Amino acid sequence: MTRHDNIEAIVIFGATSAVAQALARLHAQEGNSLLLVARNSDRLESIAADLCIRGANSVKCINMDLAIVKQHSELIRDMEKQFSDISKYYFFYGVLPDQKKCEASWDSTFDALNTNFLSKVSLLTLIANKIEKETNRSLIVVSSVAGDRGRQSNYVYGTSKGALNIFLQGLRNRLQKANCPVTTIKPGFIDTPMTQDFNKNFLWAAPEQVAKDIYKASKQSRCEIYSPWFWRYIMLIIKCIPESIFKRLSL
């Protein structure tokens, strides 16, 4: 990959995730400047050092739990101090909640919805109000195929992703006037530490594969992509199943 003449400033929320790290490496190879935001300060520093070796122009870190919404305004101010001309904002952070625990506990359900949806709405709203005046900025948000249809095995997780997808559709509509693309990423199964207890098959993708799809989508200012590509057709079939039949399936 060749280094571009124009160095971009990139923000990655949830930078310690496996896919986020793979995506950051692609931007580092281009010589871009990176601002990494996540909870684990030790991991952030380790990732930052690796990205510098790989060619990043500069790498800065902000240690923060992004689920704490009341800290978001301060975070935005801190980000502006770190980089004055941010061109891309990537959203990777999230949780995969235990469905049974959520069914038994509103607190568990709220925590999942807050992390996966409400906290992102908070951040996206603050950033949208900023970039709408600047124009030519990009928002790239990782959602999930789980948001395309509710299933008994993970409907709390799916709800958070489905709600996020609808919010992003509206935000995309709003920001197109300012030429600020909003890209929704819908990955299928990804082989990461978060899914290490799952049985894997041919449908599972490596983080590097999904990261390449996200990187390409960001360059093309796509509205929405599935990753890997075949999930678009899998979910099309699932969405076409009549509810009277779907509700009887053990999915």
Q: Please, where are the H alpha helices in 83-117? A: 99-104, 106-113
Q: Which amino acid, 222?
A: R
Asked whether residue 4 is assigned to any structural domain, the reply reads no
The answer to pTM > 0.85 is yes
Domain count, the chain: 1
Per residue in 97-150, pLDDT tens? 999 999 999 999 999 999 999 999 999 999 999 999 998 999 999 999 999 999
Domain that holds residue 155: 9-246
Q: Which residues, at least 6 apart from 23, have a Cβ–Cβ distance to it below 8 Å?
A: 12, 90, 92, 211, 214, 215
pLDDT at 68: 97
Which among 195, 139, 187, 194 has a CA at the least distance from the CA of 167? 139
Neighbours of 122 (CB within 10 A): 20
Q: Which residues pair with 36 in a beta bridge?
A: 12, 61
Asked whether residue 2 is assigned to any structural domain, the reply reads no
- Cis ω before 228 (30° cut-off from 0): yes
Which among 174, 63, 195, 55 has a CA at the least distance from the CA of 124? 174
Asked whether residue 47 is assigned to any structural domain, the reply reads yes
CATH of the domain at 146: 3.40.50.720
Is the per-residue pLDDT at 2 higher than 60? no
Neighbours of 231 (CB within 10 A): 21
Asked whether residue 114 is assigned to any structural domain, the reply reads yes
